[in-house]
Amino acid sequence: MNRIHVEDFDLCSTLESGQIFRYVRLSEGYLVNHRRRAFWVCQKGQNLFFDGVEERCILHLFGLDRDYRAIMRSLGDDRTLKTAMRLHWGLRILRQDPWECLISFLCSSTKPIRHIRVIIERLCRAFGEEITFGNHQVYAFPGEGTISGSDRLRAIGLGFRARYIHEVNQIIEGGYLERVAAKPYGEAKALLMGLPGVGDKVADCVLLFSMECPEAFPIDTWIRRGMERSYFRGERTSAKKIHTFARKHFGPYAGYAQQLLYHYWREKGRNFDTKHDPSRRR
C-alpha cells in the first residue's frame, strides 16, 4: 500500500459528483476502474492511500497537480457558490481518458446516474477485456473502435443512444480525440459537436472532464434549474444566456463552479426528496 500527503482534496465529492461512473464504494475507500486499470484508493484526512496504480497516475487523474486555492479564488465570492465551496471543498475536476469520457456521456442522456452506471458496467462486460485487482474480477473499459453493433448495444439497454455510440465508434480512430484536445475550447467543442449524439452538454462534459478546458460549463437539468433560481429570478433562461453569464460571472475556471454547484444542488435535492414530496420539485 502507498500513501501520499494531499491538501485541498476531497476524494468522496470528487468521485461522487457525477464526473465518473466506474467506481465502487467499499467499506474502506473506493475501487476505481479507469484507463484499463482497477485500483484502490482511500482518504483519511490529509493522507491518501492507494494500491494497484502508480503515484503519478493518482496525481494526474485527480488533478492534484493543479493549484486548487488559486482556482477557487478566481471564481469570485458569490454567495451561492461560497456555500457549495464550504460544503464540498476539495472537489477536484478529474483528468479522464477522453474516449472513456465521451462514450460514458453518450450513455448519459436523460438517464439518472444510478442507471448510467449500470449501463456502462454492462457495456464493459460486453466489450471490455477482463482485468484483475487482487481477488476482484473486473472488466476494463473497451478501447477505441471495439464497441460496435447497434443491436448488441440496444440489447444492453442503451435505447436510442445505441446508434450514436455505434457511429461514433466507427468515426473515432487512433489519436483523433488527442488532436481535438490540443485545440482551443471553441474549436474543440465544434469538432465534438460534429459527432452524432454529441450536443452542447455532452461536448462540455468531455471538454471539462478529459480535455483540460476548465471554462467548459455543462448545462443539464439540475444546473439549469439551479442557475435560473439563483441567478435569473426563477425565470426560464436559454443555455446560451446561462453560458454567457457563467463565463462572465465565474471567469476562466467556470467549469469548477459548475461542478461544485451541480453537486451541491443535487445533494440538496436528494435530501429534500427523502424528507418531503418528490413531486413538488419545481
Catalytic residues: 201
278 binds DNA (CB under 7 A): yes
The residues in 39-98 that bind DNA, with binding defined as CB under 7 A, are none
The residues in 213-232 that bind DNA, with binding defined as CB under 7 A, are 218-223
SS3 112: coil
Cell of 113: 446516474
- Which of 107, 6, 140 has its CA nearest to residue 62? 6
Write down the least CB distance from residue 52 to DNA, Å. Answer: 25
Q: Which of 76, 134, 186, 199 binds DNA (CB under 7 A)?
A: 199
200 binds DNA (CB under 7 A): yes
Contacts of 203 (CB under 8 A, 6+ apart): 189, 192, 193, 216
Q: Which of 25, 69, 86, 115 binds DNA (CB under 7 A)?
A: 115
Q: Which of 45, 112, 175, 184 binds DNA (CB under 7 A)?
A: 112
Q: Which of 25, 125, 179, 241 binds DNA (CB under 7 A)?
A: 241
Q: Which of 90, 143, 149, 159 binds DNA (CB under 7 A)?
A: 159
Cell of 160: 436510442
What single string gives the DSSP state of each residue in 154-221? HHHT-TTHHHHHHHHHHH--TTHHHHHHTS-HHHHHHHHHTSTT--HHHHHHHHHHHSS-TT-----H
Residue 24 amino acid letter: V
Where do contacts with DNA occur on this chain (CB under 7 A)?
Answer: 17-19, 105, 108-116, 154, 157, 159-160, 193, 196-203, 205, 218-223, 236, 238, 240-241, 258-259, 262, 266, 278-279, 281-282
